[in-house]
Structure 1
Amino acid sequence: MKLLDLSIILMIVGILLIIVSFFFKNNAKKVEQDVEELSISIFQETNNLKRRLKIVEEELLLEPEFQVKSNSAQNNMQNPKVQQVIQAVQQAAQASKAGQGSPQTKNIHQIIVSQVLELNKQGLSVADISIRSNLTEEQVRQVISNGGR
């Protein structure tokens, strides 16, 4: 009789627990929804940062007068890669200033030369390469004919 009472009590407790579980909200769905909202938010922020970075890159390529301020130059001394990039940009700006009088004598930066050669290998036309590299078509032809020398 005691065994029968114990099994009946366990069945009643199990049924009660099943009924009570229907009344509690499922927290997994809320957590899943929060994670989804967070991932959408991160995706939007990433896209915003990419757009801003693209705008900054375009401004740096379009502004030959770009100069680094002295107080930020002290911070950049710690990172040699940043220093190399700054020097390359400044050299390109100086070459742009020096070559404004005659486009034939303009000193073309090695990065642009390698970009022109790579675009030529990809089969782009001289006009397309000229647009992408901000060089005249004559300069592009000259770089291709010289093989980058």
Structure 2
Amino acid sequence: MDLSIILMIFGIVLILFSFFMKSSTKKIEQDVEELSISIFQETNNLKRRLKMVEEELLLEPEFQVKSPKAQNQKVQQVMQAVQQAASQSSIKPVQTTQSAKPIHQIIVSQVLELNKQGLAIPDISMRSNLTEEQVRQVLANGGR
């Protein structure tokens, strides 16, 4: 027998043998597909949870922390926002019925916001630099 015939027979045997072997690429493809599906499911799960958390945060704006430090920080943030808004816009002052000194609309909104947060009239008076009577008038008029 010639060497070329032996090599040809050996090659044919290997080709036939390869047809009967299990393909490892099919197993790898299946594993990759399962992995991609599980990652897709996990990301959808995380998106759904994130959406729920965002909705909770948006639905509970009246949530208040009981500690006075956190409440004071929130009041300070509101006051800073009010001051910034007042400096950036030209808002016409609102006249109270008994006082000759006009009260700016921005201070009126500050008083209303502090009242919504549950502060007492003396505290609102101190933080807004108004008298207690002026605060009562603003609250009674509802900001008008």
Greater C-alpha Rg: 2
Normalised TM-score (structure 2): 0.44
- Report the TM-score when normalising by structure 1: 0.43
